[in-house]
Amino acid sequence: MVIAHNPGIRDLALQLAGAGAQIDRMRRKFPTAALATLDFDGPWSELVPGACELVGFVKAKELA
């Protein structure tokens, strides 16, 4: 789990996500308290841009 401020966390999530149905949605807006869930199957040493799949993206206002 990584917790950070924008624009850094948005940029990191977009760099790591190479696939996923919600990438365009995340690219349009990554508001405060949003959660991006990335899946990566491999060792940290192989973590490169595009190596992850975006498996979930939730905005805080969607939880209410």
pLDDT of residue 64 exceeding 80: no
pLDDT 10s digits, 46-62 = 999 999 999 999 999 99
pLDDT at 6: 84
How many domains is the chain built from? 1
pLDDT at 47: 96
Domain of residue 17 covers 8-63
Judge if the upstream peptide bond of residue 7 is cis by omega within 30 degrees of 0.
yes
pTM of the model: 0.85
Instruction: For residue 51, tell me if it sits in a domain.
Output: yes
Instruction: For residue 17, tell me if it sits in a domain.
Output: yes
pLDDT at 52: 96
Which of 28, 47, 27 has the alpha carbon at shortest distance from 39?
47
Instruction: For residue 2, tell me if it sits in a domain.
Output: no
